[in-house]
Amino acid sequence: MWVRAPRFQFIPYHSYSYVANHLNILLSRKQKYTQIILTTKTLRLVRCLYSFSVIKNYIILEKIEKKRRVRYIRFSCAFFKNESYFKGVRIVSTPSRKHTITIKGLRLMNKSIGKSLVILETSHGLISHTKALSIGTGGLILCVVS
């Protein structure tokens, strides 16, 4: 007897790099928008990037594909005269390699980082390095927006 393999929907293994890769593709191709699968982590990072004005706007879409309800996030970046405000998003921590930073390390890093934005995952949620300095907490370095 043959057993048919169940169809499954692609769920990203590392949601933060999934969002960053799509954002970098959007910037390099200078497209209007991109669409990714909605998970709690992807939504959390998209909201964080929206609050820092990296993403211009986003919308949550719901489609029915093959009798299943699938939810997507569609977002776009801000361009001025066909140029974006930033170069790209670089992922620092991966599932196999976690990079944490203390408050002392943040103070040292703040002097050399320039205009880049570091997004940290802390007990206070996803916050920027400047907010982490004002709170006085360290955390897991997720990505660097430069």
Domain boundaries, the chain: 11-84, 92-146
The rounded distance, in Å, linking the Cα atoms of 108 and 124 is 21
The rounded distance, in Å, linking the Cα atoms of 142 and 118 is 8
CATH of domain 92-146: 3.30.1490.10
64-114 tens-digit pLDDT: 988 889 999 999 998 888 888 889 999 999 989 999 999 999 999 998 998
Which structure tokens are listed for 143?
Answer: 């990505």
pLDDT for res 5:
45
Contact status, residue 45 vs residue 15, Cβ threshold 8 Å: yes
pLDDT for res 65:
84
Contact status, residue 102 vs residue 139, Cβ threshold 8 Å: no
Contact status, residue 142 vs residue 121, Cβ threshold 8 Å: yes
CATH 3.20.20.80 for domain 11-84:
no
DSSP letter assigned to residue 115: T
What are the backbone dihedrals phi and psi of residue 106, each rounded to the nearest 5 degrees, phi first?
-65, -40
pLDDT for res 56:
94
The rounded distance, in Å, linking the Cα atoms of 114 and 140 is 20
The whole-number average pLDDT for the span 123-136 is 96
Q: Please determine, for residue 135, whether its predicted confidence score (pLDDT) is greater than 50.
A: yes
Sign of the torsion angle spanned by Cα atoms 87, 96, 52, 112: negative
Q: Please determine, for residue 8, whether its predicted confidence score (pLDDT) is greater than 70.
A: no
The whole-number average pLDDT for the span 16-27 is 94
CB contact burial 112-141 (16+ within 10 A = b; e otherwise): eeeeebbbbbeeeebbbbeebbeeebbbeb
Confidence of residue 121 (pLDDT cuts 50, 70, 90): very high
pLDDT for res 119:
97
